[in-house]
Amino acid sequence: MTDDGRPVDPVTLEVVRNATAAISEEMNAALIRTGYSPNIKERRDCSCALFDADGRMVSQAENMPVHLGAMPFSVEAAIDRFPPETLRPGDAVLLNDPFHGGAHLPDLTLVTPVFRDDVLLGFAANRAHHADVGGSRAGSVAADSTEIYQEGVRIPPVKLYRGGEIDDDLARTILANVRTPDERRGDLRAQRAANETAVRRLRELADEYGVETFADAIREVQDYSERRMRTEIDRLPDGTYTFEDVLDDDGRGNEELPIRAAVEIDGDDVRVDFAGTAPQTAGPVNAVFAVTASATYYVVRCVTDPEIPPNDGCYRPVEIDTPTASLVDASPPAAVVGGNLEASQRITDVLLGAFAKVVPDRVVAGSQGTMNNVTFGGVDPRTDRPYAFYETQAGGFGGRASGDGMDAVHVHMSNTMNTPAEVLQTAYPLAVDRYELRMDSGGAGEHRGGMGLRRDITVRGHEATFSLLADRRTRPPYGVAGGEDGSPGADYLLRDGEARRLPQKTTLDLSDGDTVSVRTPGAGGYGDPEERDPEAVRRDVQSGKISLESAIEDYGVELDDRSP
């Protein structure tokens, strides 16, 4: 509705809605195209979104859920520090502080105000995972951190750009605290380029429809999303549905850390209460509230209608309660780098488990439930310059009512890609010696769980530090509706012909020729394995996804060999 109560023309609404979504996607394309590091160019560990003049989300690119649901908190923090009257064209606010709008320190968020003739149209924002932001370990994803000060340079909301000019003193201060300043400088420039793309496009949109009509249309699209979300929630049976799962450990000797949730559906509202979740812990697996909210919003969208335009409106019916100083709402100076990476995945598993009790046909079985964070760092013998390599690794996606789970993909709160072996070996003094699916790792079911993978990375010509931050090595991904659990992951150091099992959260020094073998979890199956189509079992055996023994033991299907 316009300010005088008249409805906005529906054609204009649809054009503006699709235009803002396209702008978000164009931002993301610009960020990936101009990014400097493989983590952004190849893995696409970044996200982009648009916000209105009040800091409410308007649209987002379909990127990483853990970024997108949390980014509104970053924009809010930027506005709190720099109210609109203190901003002008060309300004851009940078931040990564998890306790002031961020999620974890490697994720740097850049927020740019968009003006047309001194009128604030809104904000362009993007978040990119930088491969190193300092801290005690190369890659800034240290499995042994116990407080945030060890995890990298901490940036509250600050103006990196003023009137289009970079603050050189601030930039030098940030870059002096990272191991790979040239790469960081390039990625920050890419983030600015992405936001400037949005600035141009939003101005064009406002010029075409007028500033007032543009603002009215944005407001109406948000209200439309809220109406659609409330309609979907209202279709769910009222009641309270609970579920609990655990993180294996925190890397500091604390094991079986529970995350509990009670999902209450009351008419067209959803309330999620995390009472009973473990207190924040010594290791780096604590999540700040923004991360918990991000996972919650993601799950609600998944089990309602994912086609609802993702903006501020579709989150309005969702209320979230968290115990303070807990795994799902950490207080400083907690170590939080793994909260964004690992706790976020378990929060998702818990909420999907709760919704499985009310809409099992809309829920997947437990997926791999971890991001399998791998970091290598050292001095590249080819250049005599420091390097930091970071990636997350794919695993199984849960079986579902409509079919088998996907094999070796990034799941839920991740949604990145693996670093191609060719790029990894070109950019870093490392080699990928083995890269394959893990047979029998997907849980049996009428619809089989997806398979995990094995990825062996070898150090070449130098000594390196290595950090692994992973989970689902003890407690496996759960099956749903009678499906079997998936296989947990496992990790090994291969040295001098011997294999040594590694803790899932570990940091160690590596020598030339050492190999780290990461074997990621499969996913849970969906439905009774006895109901699986025997021809599907035959195809799985032929393709090497399951063994002959599994065909017999799990499915009761006897095959003489793998021939058709």
Strands in 381-470 per DSSP E = 385-391, 430-437, 453-459, 464-469
- Asked if residues 371 and 342 have their Cβ atoms less than 8 Å apart, the reply is yes
Alpha-carbon distance values, 410 to 218, 325, 347, 433, 544 (Å): 32, 29, 16, 21, 21
- The mean pLDDT value of the chain amounts to 94
41-45, 485-489, 548-552 — which one is most confidently predicted on average? 485-489
Q: Is residue 171 part of a domain?
A: yes
> For 10-14, 278-282, 477-481, 493-497, which range has the lowest pLDDT when averaged over its residues?
10-14
Confidence class for position 62, pLDDT limits 50, 70, 90: confident
3-class secondary-structure state, position 89: coil
Position 382 scores a pLDDT of 95
Residue with tokens 């491969």: 131
- Secondary structure element (H or E) that encloses residue 508, with its range: strand 505-510
Question: CA neighbours within 13 Å on the CB side: how many for 169?
Answer: 3
Judge whether 550 lies within some domain. Answer: no
CA angle 456, 423, 489 (to 5 degrees): 30
Q: What is the pLDDT of residue 95?
A: 97
Q: Of 192, 226, 260, which residue is a domain's last?
A: 226
Residue 157, C-beta contacts closer than 8 angstroms, at least 6 positions apart: 77, 78, 80, 81, 82, 93, 94, 95, 97, 100, 101, 111
Indicate whether 359 belongs to any domain. no
Confidence of residue 562 (pLDDT cuts 50, 70, 90): very low
The H-assigned helical ranges of 339-454 are 344-355, 421-427
Tell me, yes or no, whether 425 lies in a domain: yes
Q: What is the pLDDT of residue 5?
A: 57
The alpha-helical segments, DSSP class H, found in 131-272 are 168-175, 181-209, 211-234
pLDDT at residue 563, as a whole number: 46
The residue with tokens 């074997």 is 519
What share of the chain has pLDDT > 70, as a percent? 98
| pLDDT tens sequence across 23-39 | 999 999 999 999 999 88
Cis-peptide into 258, omega within 30 deg = no
The DSSP bridge partners found for residue 499 are: 494
Residue labelled with tokens 């929060």: 347
* 449 within 8 A of 524, measured Cβ to Cβ: yes
pLDDT at 336 over 80: yes
299 lies in some domain: no
| pLDDT at residue 199, as a whole number | 97
Query: Would you say how long the chain is, in residues?
Result: 564
Query: The tokens of 79 are what?
Result: 């506005």
pLDDT digits (tens, 9 = 90+) for 140-175: 898 999 999 999 999 999 999 999 999 999 999 999
Higher pLDDT, 457 or 63: 457
Smallest Cα–Cα separation from 505: which of 213, 253, 264, 267? 253
Of 200, 226, 252, the residue at which a domain comes to its end is 226
Confidence class for position 4, pLDDT limits 50, 70, 90: low
> How far is 298 from 135, CA to CA, in rounded Å?
30
Per-residue confidence (pLDDT) for residue 267, from 0 to 100? 96
Coil, helix or strand at residue 557: coil
Q: Is residue 541 part of a domain?
A: no
My answer on whether 368 and 221 are in the same domain is: no
Tracing tokens 């793998």 back to the chain, one arrives at: 562
- Contact call for residues 504 and 491 (beta carbons, < 8 A): yes
Helix (H) or strand (E) holding 270: strand 269-273
Q: Are both 187 and 38 inside the same structural domain?
A: yes
Where are any strands of DSSP class E within 53-208? 57-60, 92-95, 107-116, 119-129, 158-162, 165-166
276 touches 261 (CB < 8 A): no
Residues 95-129 pLDDT 10s = 999 999 889 999 999 999 999 988 999 999 999 99
- CB-CB contact of 294 with 344 (8 Å): yes
Taking the alpha carbons of 164, 312, 297, 17 in that order, is the dihedral positive or negative? negative
pTM: 0.94
Give the model confidence (pLDDT) of 275-305 as tens digits. 999 999 999 999 999 999 999 999 999 999 9
The total of other beta-carbon atoms located within 10 Å of residue 556's CB is: 12
| pLDDT-wise least confident of 71-75, 320-324, 430-434, 444-448 | 71-75
35 in helix, strand or coil?
A: coil
Question: What SS3 state is found at 385?
Answer: strand
- pLDDT for the residue numbered 413: 85
Has residue 549 been placed in a domain?
Answer: no
- Range from 48-52, 70-74, 326-330, 422-426 carrying the lowest mean pLDDT: 70-74
Does the pLDDT value for residue 477 go beyond 50? yes
Q: What is the pLDDT of residues 241-262, one digit of tens each?
A: 999 999 999 999 999 999 999 9
Using the 3D structure, point to which of 180, 207, 226 is the last residue of a domain.
Answer: 226
Residue 539 confidence (pLDDT): 94
Q: Is the pLDDT of residue 417 over 90?
A: no
pLDDT at residue 101 in the model: 87
Residues 126 and 46 sit within 8 Å (Cβ to Cβ): yes
Query: Which residues form the domain of 171?
Result: 10-226
pLDDT of residue 8 exceeding 80, the answer is no
HSE value, Cβ hemisphere, 13 Å, CA-based, for 417 = 13
% residues pLDDT > 90 (the chain): 88
**Domain count for the chain:** 2
pLDDT band at 3 (very low <50, low <70, confident <90, very high): low
Residue 561 pLDDT exceeds 60:
no
Say how far apart CA 31 and CA 345 lie, in whole Å.
25
Examine residue 253 and state whether it is found in any structural domain, yes or no: no
> In angstroms, how far is the first alpha carbon of the chain from the final one?
62
Q: Is the pLDDT of residue 564 over 50?
A: no
Where does the pLDDT of residue 233 fall: very low under 50, low under 70, confident under 90, or very high at 90 and above? Answer: very high
